[in-house]
């Protein structure tokens, strides 16, 4: 689906005019480039209202909702984490590790998974898990090179992540937390990244396996890969609503960095962030 630049600009102006309104029922948190920094914003699934939550001069890099608490856990580019309420109240997280990247909260709210370079050597990030109740930490991947972008399964038993393979590839892996077994999901010569679990346990991700960067899903039942979007523009950072009925993505359609949403039963996509500024990294309330 494509919309004209004129229509996109008009929609963007309307959204920008509404950006000062508070979202009484926020459904999606995302990052928007604001005054030169990636800041945390809220919106609803239609993009009718937008609310800015952070304003400090530091880029935010990854967001996840703490389940049932209407609180966002945010990562910034210094490796620090903080909790952010929908009203904008902010609380730093004091943790036994520093330099965490891509931190994401488990669905029970009790654990964090993140990428960390504990060896203090270049290009050597592993995936870790931290119990927020007792601060017990555990490395769950230990491969050469970079492992990043961890994602929790809904039941908290598995973590999917992306790992650098050959010079021009990234592959997806999954770790079974009970056994510690790492299983490779993708094997072809392509870039696979931004994994996220569907509510039924499949893995959605971004990949250029068909030439363009589109959204794909690996279905566990038949071990097959299915293409969800097909557009020449760059598409990445998929995020499912908790009921699995809607998918948000980051896309460069019409040369604009925006968040788009589609219904799982309909491939048509709609932009929900302004065309007048860059937005990315959507996550749904859960």
Q: What is the pLDDT of residues 81-119, one digit of tens each?
A: 999 998 889 999 988 888 899 999 999 999 999 999 876
Residue 1 pLDDT: 34
Residue 78 pLDDT: 87
Residues of the chain under the 50 pLDDT cut = 1-19
HEC per residue, the chain? CCCCHHHHHHHHHHHHHHCCCCCCCCCEEEEEEECCEEEEEEECCCCCCEEECCCCCCCEEEEEEECCCCEEEEEECCCCEEEEECCCCEEECCCCCCCCEEEEECCCCCEEEEEECCCCCCCCCEEEEEECCCCCEEECCCCCCCEEEEEECCCCCEEEEEEECCCCCEEEEEEECCCCCEEECCCCCCEEEEEEECCCCCEEEEECCCCCCEEEEEECCCCEEEECCCCCCCEEEEEECCCCCEEEEEECHHHCCEEEEEECCCCCEEECCCCCCCEEEEEECC
> What residue ranges define each of the domains in the chain, with the CATH number in brackets?
5-284 (2.120.10.30)
Residue 121 pLDDT: 60
Residue 46 pLDDT: 93
Residue 210 pLDDT: 92
């Amino acid at each position: 689906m494509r919309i004209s630049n004129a229509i996109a600009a008009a929609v963007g102006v309307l959204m920008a005019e509404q950006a000062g309104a508070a979202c009484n029922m926020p459904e999606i948190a995302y990052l928007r480039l604001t005054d030169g920094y990636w800041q945390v914003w809220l919106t609803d699934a239609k993009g009718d209202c937008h609310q800015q939550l952070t304003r400090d001069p530091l880029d935010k890099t990854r967001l996840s909702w703490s389940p049932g608490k209407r609180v966002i856990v945010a990562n910034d580019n210094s490796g620090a984490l903080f909790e952010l309420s929908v009203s904008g109240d902010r609380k730093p997280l004091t943790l036994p590790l520093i330099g965490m990247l891509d931190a994401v909260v488990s669905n029970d709210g009790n654990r964090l998974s993140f990428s960390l370079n504990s060896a203090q050597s270049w290009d050597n990030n592993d995936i870790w898990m931290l119990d927020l109740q007792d601060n017990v930490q555990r490395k769950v991947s230990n491969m050469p090179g970079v492992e990043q972008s961890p994602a929790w399964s809904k039941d908290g038993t598995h973590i999917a992540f992306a790992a650098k393979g050959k010079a021009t590839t990234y592959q997806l892996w999954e770790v079974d937390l009970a056994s510690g077994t790492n299983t490779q999901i993708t094997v072809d010569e392509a870039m696979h990244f931004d994994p996220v679990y569907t509510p039924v346990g499949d893995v959605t991700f971004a990949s250029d396996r068909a030439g363009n960067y589109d959204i794909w899903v690996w279905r566990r039942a038949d071990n097959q890969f299915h293409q969800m979007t097909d557009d020449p523009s760059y598409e990445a950072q998929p995020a499912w609503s908790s009921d699995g009925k809607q998918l948000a993505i980051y896309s460069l359609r019409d040369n604009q960095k925006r968040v788009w949403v589609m219904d799982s039963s309909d491939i048509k996509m709609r932009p929900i962030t302004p065309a007048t500024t860059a937005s990315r990294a959507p996550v749904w309330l859960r």
